Structure 1
Amino acid sequence: MTHQPLPPGESNHRLAWPLRRANHEDGGRVFTALGRFVHAAMGLLVTHDWRGSDRLPQTGGVLVVSNHLSYFDAVALGEFLIWSGRWPRYLGKVQLWKTPVVGWLARSCEQIPVDRGSAKAAEVLVTAQGALDDGRCVTMYPEGTLTRDPETWPMTARSGAARLALRSQHPVVPVGQWGANHVIGGTGMGMPRFFPRKRIHVCCGEPIDLSDLRPWVGTEREGEAVRAASVRIMDALTGLVEELRGTPAPRDRWDTRVGARVPQPPARVDEAGSRGPTDPGEV
């Protein structure tokens, strides 16, 4: 997928907009108050480079996919999405719902818990599908965890985002981001480092075209379609991150299962291709 690169700060004018102008959706009392608080705090603590806000559909169900850099991602990405016109419903680890304050906020803001240790983990995609059908903005990290890539590039994806994307028929919009990892780095929940002020870069890309892959859903080739969709999603995100970082990514992509970068499978289903085993359906 190709798109026209956008200049830094192309959407920064939205930072000065009041919430009622930036977002016409009903976020609910708690989410609205939280959004305003986060926006005010971020204005004091970080600087912004926002691009492509106008690419985000303003109405109807939309699946936003993003790379996962840091535990600060949800704040940085959430502020961008809210001031770009949508209230995000994240898929997040169920453990957060058991945490005081954070759990209450997650429930009050209608976020979607994922219990990966349960045999019913895949049912979360049914819940997410329902949210999309209700016109919500559902937000997923296709990698399923913080990147382990040594240079912090997007990794290979789990299959959950691709499965939802193929089955839902709703737009799939990539949002690349960089800079949250400079506030909280690594794979743990460390203390935020706000000083000197860090710059948060976020760029919304064009919707990802999966129309040629959707007809394979429900057939014996669905596993291939899911793998191809996963590659397209991560290719789109990697391209956006390259734009934000101003440097090319490695050709291969880090796979946590082998602890190394690996070549990627085709981003399409070949009519004459092999019928490999289906993906296990990880969220």
Structure 2
Amino acid sequence: MSRRRIGFWYRLAAVIAKPPLLVLFKRDWRGMEHIPADGGFITAINHNSVIDMFSYGHFQYNTGRVPRFLAKATLFETPIAGALLRGTRQIPVYRESTDAYGAFRAAVEAIERGECVAFYPESTLTRDPDQWPMTAKTGVARAALVTKAPVVPVAQWGANLAVPPYAKANKISFFPRKTLQVKAGPPVDLASFYGKEPTPEVLKEVTETIMAAVTDLLEDLRGEQAPEQPYDLREVLAQQRRKAAEEGTK
């Protein structure tokens, strides 16, 4: 998809979303030159607010290359949002169903047709106490190895200051106006992984390479250093289950 073919539905979504974004937030956008002008590609983005899809979406819309997001299938069933999601050709994710693989297949097909598919590799809002990226799932690595398309890392910060992850209503604050910081970096060099068998070890290494690039960009935006080891939600939950089991035997 070229920079000129945005389409009616995406333009309609922009008409609806951009005015409140312009009123409620300031912007600090960097790295637009790293968004490819032509051809299919992948973006990998950190996830720290329920509204950061709009922050990143606004950024990339202004480059002329619109992304296709992977979104929960239930969102497509809502009247207004569902119509916009279908019209802008977002990709429904049917978790824990016989069609769970369909989203990955649709993403690969879109990339091979020359479109951009946006991945939130963490798959959910970060649980890290300081809102750094967590360990990620391997879907983005699988798509990268299958398509060999450029993987552009993107970091964002600011939407979470207005609407923190998992925040209650009394923690939401749009004023004073926050700055939506979005920074894209150069494509991650994954050439050394091409041709390798996509074993769990290889997929884990590719995923970590991509997430390291995203985290580096976020460190620059925040002017801080991320933890040496990313927050591992699965390990934390496993520890909680072990603790609960131990307490249950006492």
Amino acid at match of 1:214: Y
Query: Which one of the candidate residues 123, 147, 171 is aligned to 2:126?
Result: 147
**Unaligned 5+ residue runs, structure 2?**
238-250
What residue number does 1:18 align with?
none
What residue number does 2:243 align with?
none
Residue aligned with 2:180, SS: strand
Structure 1 residue 68: Cα displacement: 0.5
Answer 1 or 2: higher relative contact order, Cα 8 Å, separation at least 6: 2
CA distance in 2, matches of 1:56, 1:29: 22
What residue number does 1:229 align with?
206
The equivalences for 1:96-107 within 5 A come to 96-107=75-86
What residue number does 1:243 align with?
220
Please tell me whether the aligned partners of residues 3 and 38 of structure 2 are also in contact (alpha carbons under 8 angstroms). Answer: no
Please tell me whether the aligned partners of residues 90 and 140 of structure 1 are also in contact (alpha carbons under 8 angstroms). Answer: yes
Residue aligned with 1:76, SS: helix
Query: Which one of the candidate residues 11, 21, 34 is aligned to 1:32?
Result: 11
Residue 185 of structure 2 is aligned to residue 205 of structure 1: yes
CA distance in 1, matches of 2:48, 2:62: 21
Please tell me whether the aligned partners of residues 88 and 137 of structure 1 are also in contact (alpha carbons under 8 angstroms). Answer: yes
Query: Which one of the candidate residues 142, 151, 155 is aligned to 1:176?
Result: 155
Residue aligned with 1:130, SS: helix
Q: TM-score, normalised by structure 2?
A: 0.89
Structure 1 residue 188: Cα displacement: 5.6
CA distance in 2, matches of 1:62, 1:189: 36
Structure 1 residue 126: Cα displacement: 0.9
Once the two structures are superposed, residues 53-111 of structure 1 have per-residue CA deviations (whole angstroms, 9 ceiling, x without a partner) of 01110111010110011111110000000112211100111121122211111001100
Query: Which one of the candidate residues 100, 107, 112 is aligned to 2:91?
Result: 112
CA distance in 2, matches of 1:215, 1:187: 40
What residue number does 2:245 align with?
none
Query: Which one of the candidate residues 41, 62, 68 is aligned to 1:83?
Result: 62
Runs of 4 or more, structure 1, over 6 Å off, are none
**Unaligned 5+ residue runs, structure 1?**
1-22, 261-283
Identity %: 39
What residue number does 2:175 align with?
195
CA distance in 2, matches of 1:211, 1:195: 45
CA distance in 2, matches of 1:29, 1:231: 37
Residue 53 of structure 2 is aligned to residue 43 of structure 1: no
What residue number does 1:279 align with?
none
What residue number does 2:108 align with?
129
Q: TM-score, normalised by structure 1?
A: 0.79
Greater percentage in helix: 2
Deviates more, 1:168-177 or 1:31-40: 31-40
Residue aligned with 2:220, SS: helix
Query: Which one of the candidate residues 56, 63, 67 is aligned to 2:35?
Result: 56
What residue number does 1:95 align with?
74
Please tell me whether the aligned partners of residues 6 and 64 of structure 2 are also in contact (alpha carbons under 8 angstroms). Answer: no
